[in-house]
Amino acid sequence: MTKRSRLFHTAAVLTALTLLAGCSEQTPGTPSSASTTPAANSAGTDDSSIPKVPRALDPSAYLDKPCDLVPRQLLSQLGYTAPGTPNMTNSTAGPACNWYMAGSSKNFGVGVQRTRSGQDNGGIAKIASLKGSLFSYVDMTNVKGYPAAFADTGDRRASGSCTLWVGITDKLTISASTNRYGTEQDSCGVARQVAGAVLDTLQGGS
């Protein structure tokens, strides 16, 4: 397994994040190029069916250290021994961190969809509005009472790649994505577990 193939899904997710940020200025459901500057705090939809977050969470303390969002205990339980690799270079996707399992092709990442300029991606309402344009599927769910959605540019869940978005404010999401987990149950289960741990961290539980 080459490094290039291991990073394929991570790159795809970052592309989706960039496009998501770029289309926040546009008419809902119409993605723009990655170079477009996103509109600040633009949800892009007024869908009253989208649940509101029960209590807004502030990710500010982790924007410079996204790898700290996932507790070491969970990393150990999941079989990750190497430190996470922060990704702070994509100014439109927001800060992220990726982990790679030693001796395996399995990997996962987390991100906060807030740009360097402090602009948020529009929250779960924005994610939901992009079904059929940016995202090929959007399956609504919740994580520990917070509105969430499984969504990606292509449906690779059956092959072990899954991306879960969770609203931490009505205008901002965090994401957890997995790759090379073999089955949808494994990949999406781990994504949900990781996202729940990030919520605990943001709530001060770890």
Please state the domain extents for the chain: 3-202
Q: Residue 40 has what pLDDT?
A: 31
The yes-or-no verdict on residue 103 having pLDDT over 50 is yes
Sign of CA pseudo-dihedral 188, 190, 195, 200: positive
Question: Which of the 8 DSSP states describes residue 83?
Answer: P
Is 0.85 topped by the overall pTM?
no
Question: Which of the 8 DSSP states describes residue 49?
Answer: T
Average pLDDT over residues 183-190: 93
Q: Residue 13 has what pLDDT?
A: 53
Q: Residue 107 has what pLDDT?
A: 97
Q: Residue 20 has what pLDDT?
A: 56
Q: How far apart are the first and last CA of the chain?
A: 34
Average pLDDT over residues 104-119: 95
Query: Cβ–Cβ contacts within 10 Å for residue 70, how many?
Result: 26
Select from 136, 117, 147 the least CA-distant residue to 38: 117
Query: How many Cα atoms occupy the beta-carbon half-sphere of 37 within 13 Å?
Result: 4
| Listed range (11-20, 23-32, 106-115) with the worst mean pLDDT | 23-32
CA–CA distance from 11 to each of 33, 197, 200, 206 (Å)?
16, 23, 26, 29
Q: What is the CA radius of gyration of the chain?
A: 15
Place of tokens 């600040």: 40
Average pLDDT over residues 102-114: 96
Select from 88, 93, 85, 96 the least CA-distant residue to 16: 93
Q: How far is the C-alpha of 10 from the C-alpha of 19, rounded, in Å?
A: 14
Average pLDDT over residues 165-179: 98
The yes-or-no verdict on residue 12 having pLDDT over 90 is no
Mean pLDDT of the chain: 82
Band of residue 126 on the pLDDT scale cut at 50, 70, 90 = very high
The yes-or-no verdict on residue 47 having pLDDT over 70 is no
Band of residue 49 on the pLDDT scale cut at 50, 70, 90 = confident
Select from 138, 70, 98, 116 the least CA-distant residue to 8: 98
The yes-or-no verdict on residue 16 having pLDDT over 70 is no
The two structure tokens encoding residue 63: 């924007």
| Listed range (64-68, 90-94, 102-106) with the worst mean pLDDT | 90-94
